[in-house]
Amino acid sequence: MNPYEEYMKEISQPMREELTSAGFQELTTPEEVDEFISSTKGTSLVVINSVCGCAAGLARPAARESLSSEKKPENFVTVFAGQDREATARMRDYLEGYEPSSPSMALLKDGQVLHFIPREEIEDFEVEEIVGNLTHAYNQYC
């Protein structure tokens, strides 16, 4: 690993832990993504994490806060754009019809996208609005 990659890995670790400590499973390889999609039944929240400010101030806090909702997905996973590139690319393959966007969130059921929140619906929104977007989808699909 070159010094830049080592630095980015070190700096992104707290950003990863912000979701994993809340119960999200981190998928770091294409194989882990494939295994998750093919074997997981029920509803899943997928967070495509990133190092940008809107991920830090909006997406991760909203994803964590949404977990306190009465209705919520059965599974929570995350991939890290810019860090685990291959895993992120593979997850995006499953988000067919949606432009690559980071951060972003998708609600899946049995591997199929039910609801998608692109960066454009995260950036310039309040955490409460994003939580509302997620909980509305949870109430509809979970």
Which residues have a catalytic role annotated?
Answer: 52, 54
Amino acid at 90: R
| CB-CB neighbours of 2 under 10 Å | 7
Distances (CA, A) of 38 to 57, 78, 138: 32, 16, 21
